[in-house]
Amino acid sequence: DAGITQSPRHKVTETGTPVTLRCHQTENHRYMYWYRQDPGHGLRLIHYSYGVKDTDKGEVSDGYSVSRSKTEDFLLTLESATSSQTSVYFCAISEPTSYEQYFGPGTRLTVT
């Protein structure tokens, strides 16, 4: 998985609790992304980062925030988890000179 790890790999949480997912890369790639995967929707972009402390929203950003204080780490936070955020979350990385995105193994999040 191109030097990308995600933690945790599985999480079950209750509605209303905060949750943080971590993406860690060892490739020193500048761009990082968070997607969610849901049946019938493919993958949809939540947020992305084009450098340390530089982030922007994707198409489904409501209810999510991100932070990137180091090149290698990109955090996704659900401030108050809802059942609609039950999904599989994927992190991806890429370089500005390349049009190739590489994906991590995913985190399965269940909000009860």
Write out the residues near another protein by the rule CB under 8 A: 1, 4, 31, 33, 40-45, 48, 50, 56, 58, 90, 92, 94-96, 98-106
Least Å from the CB of residue 27 to another protein: 14
Q: Would you call 112 helix, strand, or coil by DSSP?
A: coil
81 vs 91, which CB is nearer to another protein?
91
18 vs 51, which CB is nearer to another protein?
51
Least Å from the CB of residue 54 to another protein: 11
Q: Cβ(44)–Cβ(90) under 8 Å?
A: no
Amino acid 110 reads: T
Least Å from the CB of residue 104 to another protein: 5
Q: Would you call 85 helix, strand, or coil by DSSP?
A: helix
DSSP at 77: E
